[in-house]
């Protein structure tokens, strides 16, 4: 077993979108429905005067970016589309190994 010689980078890191890809939960639901397509729908029943925190939360990813130079690869549209694609295969009891490998190769731009 390999042991780290330094605990400098140990700890917890938030992983999330860049600021331009931050959307509300309602917008996320809209994207999910858009990419699920057939038969998916939802009704936004959120309160008009809900507290700020109830309508928008954002992870602070600075620690991850500073420590490792990390940045998101996919924008929100592609991320949600790929997530829906995977869950549709799962819902249809399809080949999860195949879709997972396809998406990994796509993520790393490997043909």
Report residue 6's pLDDT band, with 50, 70 and 90 as the boundaries.
confident
Record the pTM: 0.75
- Domain extent at residue 32: 19-107
Q: pLDDT by residue (tens digit) across 42-99?
A: 887 777 776 655 556 788 999 999 999 999 999 999 999 999 999 999 999 999 999 9
CA distances from 50 to 2, 25, 31, 35, 54 (A): 49, 13, 22, 28, 6
Within a domain: residue 9?
no
Instruction: Note the pLDDT of residue 7.
Output: 83
- For the ranges 14-23, 26-35, 54-63, the lowest mean pLDDT is seen at 54-63
Within a domain: residue 4?
no
Instruction: Note the pLDDT of residue 54.
Output: 55
Instruction: Note the pLDDT of residue 55.
Output: 56
Within a domain: residue 5?
no
Angle 25-36/76-91 helices, nearest 10 degrees? 50
Within a domain: residue 23?
yes
Count of domains in the chain? Answer: 1
């Amino acid at each position: 077993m390999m042991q780290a010689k330094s605990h400098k980078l140990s700890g917890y890191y938030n992983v999330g979108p860049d600021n331009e890809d931050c959307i509300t939960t309602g917008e996320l639901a809209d994207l999910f429905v858009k990419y699920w397509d057939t038969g998916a729908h939802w009704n936004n029943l959120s309160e008009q005067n809900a507290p700020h925190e109830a309508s928008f939360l954002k992870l602070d990813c600075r620690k991850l970016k500073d420590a490792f130079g990390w940045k998101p690869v996919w924008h929100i549209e592609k991320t949600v589309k790929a997530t829906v694609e995977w869950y549709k295969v799962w819902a249809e009891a399809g080949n999860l190994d195949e879709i997972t490998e396809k998406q990994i190769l796509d993520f790393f731009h490997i043909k």
